Chains A and B, each alone.
Chain A
Amino acid sequence: MSSLVECRNVTKCYSNGRPAVYNLNLTLEKGHIIGLLGPNGSGKTTLIKMINGLLKPTNGEVLVNGILPGPETKARISYLPERTYLEAQRTVKDIVDFFGDFYEDFRKDRAYAMLDALHIEPTARLKNLSKGTKEKVQLILVMSRDAELYILDEPIAGVDPAARDYILRTIIANFNPAATLLICTHLISDIESILDEVVFIRDGQITLQTSVENIREQQGKSVDQYFREVFAC
């Protein structure tokens, strides 16, 4: 079986000197929930944007399902960016309809079930929702697609712990065993129980890719503890 994402000698330079990602190699298989972990400025978001086709590598290549990122791969990737791109004037229902029109794999019933469970009114306008509720709406939209690859950039940072639990449970319950979920976050201890693999990134390079159970078994530590040790300042 071929891998889902393949990065080969990928380098990305912005105009200001030091590359954000340098000669990076990474393979992500199908059917895993993977944590992409690294300190600030380590290249996480740059890497994610290249997988999404929002940035082009300066050198090397990124392949998704064996092809270069483009309309075909974007139809199969559900991406939660760091920052919102939704219009604040619109209602939740408007946006659900918009997603339903835009993505073939969008499941409206799933979106409404999750909105209901988190007590979010479909008639509410985005601008009138709290920061955390807005984040919940975005995450619900992203998880309501039947994608092959979900990429979540800091998905739970602004969400209260109870809703975090619900969201994580929802992710597991809806998770298609053939799909892959890449979660980029600093809140490691909150999510590590749902991960099966972690990728550590530092200075634009992958420093570790392993199963989380390996870390627990070999280091006798949680992923969170291990991360703090590896990236100690």
Chain B
Amino acid sequence: MAWNLDNDRPIYAQIVERIQLQIVSGIYKPGDKLPSVRELAAVAGVNPNTMQKAFGELERSGLIITQRTSGRIVTENEHMITEIKKELAKEHVERFLEKMRELGFEKKEIMALLESDK
């Protein structure tokens, strides 16, 4: 369906990752209003309770904020968004390095490859 989620991993976790990515990449900007749980559940093709759980997780992390009157917005704390962006980048780098080591590359060789890619 619309969001191409894997059914063999918890769906709420995948939604969290996806919304995080949309925030750090600027698709949702600081202070932007987010769609309602129901709207987003229908777009994603997931159970509304699952979407609710994902939103709960994002609220706990502080990335999105619930306002009594106007629904949910993206945090205006840009420092936090940058931090999450760095964290995600770190995860990607680690995964990349692991793969490269599996292929038998040493750090120097990896660096050389990255340089030559420019």
Interface residues of A (CB under 8 A from B): 31-33, 165, 168-169, 172-173, 175, 177, 189, 192-196, 212-213, 216-217, 220-225
Contact = CB atoms under 8 A, between A and B. Distances in A.
B47 A216 contact: no
A33 B47 contact: yes
B42 to A, nearest CB: 4
Per DSSP, chain A at the interface is helix
Contacts, number: 63
B20 to A, nearest CB: 18
B5 interface: yes
Contact of B1 (A193, A221, A224): A193
Contact of A194 (B10, B12, B47): B47
Which 9 pairs, one residue from A and one from B, show the smallest C-beta to C-beta distance? A222-B7, A173-B42, A222-B8, A172-B42, A196-B47, A213-B10, A196-B49, A216-B10, A169-B42
Contacts of A177: 48
Contacts of A189: 7
11 contacts: A165-B2, A169-B1, A169-B42, A172-B46, A172-B48, A193-B7, A193-B46, A196-B50, A220-B9, A222-B6, A225-B8
